[in-house]
Chain A
Amino acid sequence: DVKVTQSSRYLVKRTGEKVFLECVQDMDHENMFWYRQDPGLGLRLIYFSYDVKMKEKGDIPEGYSVSREKKERFSLILESASTNQTSMYLCASSLSGPLSGNTIYFGEGSWLTVV
């Protein structure tokens, strides 16, 4: 089974802190994604990466950056956390693009509260 592991399930951080959310997948997937989920707004893509050191902005990249130094690990960075970044963050991965029946697999989510 594919496993996407998010290192922290629940975090509480102070405004202005630098926050790292870590995600690891164990299936040698090329693509990795970070989404955030908010009531009434659904799931929104923050960033994705299609290869090591490669990244593309999603729909809401402002206030975030990402790092992918190794294929299995994709980190989301909040340079200076703000209260409007309080949310559920979901990491995902896939083997490649949507052809050939590929699937995107999600982690269990990280609940971040910024106070």
Chain B
Amino acid sequence: GDSVTQMEGPVTLSEEAFLTINCTYTATGYPSLFWYVQYPGEGLQLLLKATKADDKGSNKGFEATYRKETTSFHLEKGSVQVSDSAVYFCALWDKGSSYKLIFGSGTRLLVRP
């Protein structure tokens, strides 16, 4: 069945460092891909999305490109801030999985001043 694999956390970076969080997926169809962010004690906020191959989603300095050939959707940011500290979830939504959003396990990011 469909699945999402994220890199294990926590990821600890210094402020202004470059961020990559890896995400790969397995899907039977052509899913939409998402990154959600969860700040401490809060719900999930949509960070960015891409709906077809080679699309690039971007928001708040974060980017991710839908790579069908490598079945990946890695999250990147050129210069992280302390306020980016959160848990990041990669997810896919496939018509093959009907209504269910398939999540990765989440990656905790800690940015130190």
Closest to B52 in A: A101
Query: In this complex, what residue of B is CB-closest to A45?
Result: B100
Residues 54-78 of chain A, each 1 if its beta carbon lies under 8 Å from chain B, else 0: 0010110000000000000000000
Query: How far is A43 from B101 in the complex, measured between Cα atoms in Å?
Result: 10
A36-54 with Cβ < 8 A to chain B: 42-43, 45, 48, 50
Cα–Cα, bound, A103→B44 (Å): 13
| A51-B99 Cα distance, complex, nearest whole Å | 12
Distance in Å: Cβ of A93 to nearest Cβ of chain B: 11
Are A101 and B32 neighbours in the complex by a CB distance under 8 Å? yes
Size bin of chain B's contact surface = 20 to 34
State the CA gap A103–B49 with chains docked (Å).
8
Are A42's CB and B103's CB within 8 A? Answer: yes
Least CB distance from B103 to A in Å reads 5
User: Chain A interface: which of B59-67, B71-79, B89-97?
Assistant: B89-97
Q: Quick check: B93 and A109 within 8 Å, CB to CB? A: no
Query: Is the Cβ of A98 less than 8 Å from the Cβ of B46?
Result: no
Q: Does A16 contact B (CB under 8 A)?
A: no
Rounded to whole angstroms, the CA-CA distance of A21 and B42 in the bound complex is: 16
Given contacts A33-B101, A106-B43, 13 further A-B contacts (CB under 8 A): A31-B99, A33-B99, A42-B105, A48-B99, A50-B99, A59-B100, A90-B43, A92-B44, A97-B99, A102-B93, A103-B46, A108-B43, A109-B42
Q: Which 8 residue pairs across A and B have the least CB separation, nearest first?
A: A98-B93, A106-B44, A109-B43, A108-B43, A101-B51, A106-B43, A43-B103, A48-B99
Binding site for A on B (CB under 8 A): 31-32, 34, 36, 41-46, 49, 51, 89, 93-95, 98-101, 103-106
24 residue pairs of the A-B complex, CB under 8 angstroms, read: A31-B99, A42-B103, A42-B106, A43-B89, A45-B101, A56-B99, A92-B44, A92-B101, A97-B98, A98-B31, A98-B32, A98-B93, A98-B94, A98-B95, A99-B95, A102-B32, A103-B46, A103-B49, A104-B34, A104-B93, A104-B101, A106-B36, A109-B42, A109-B43
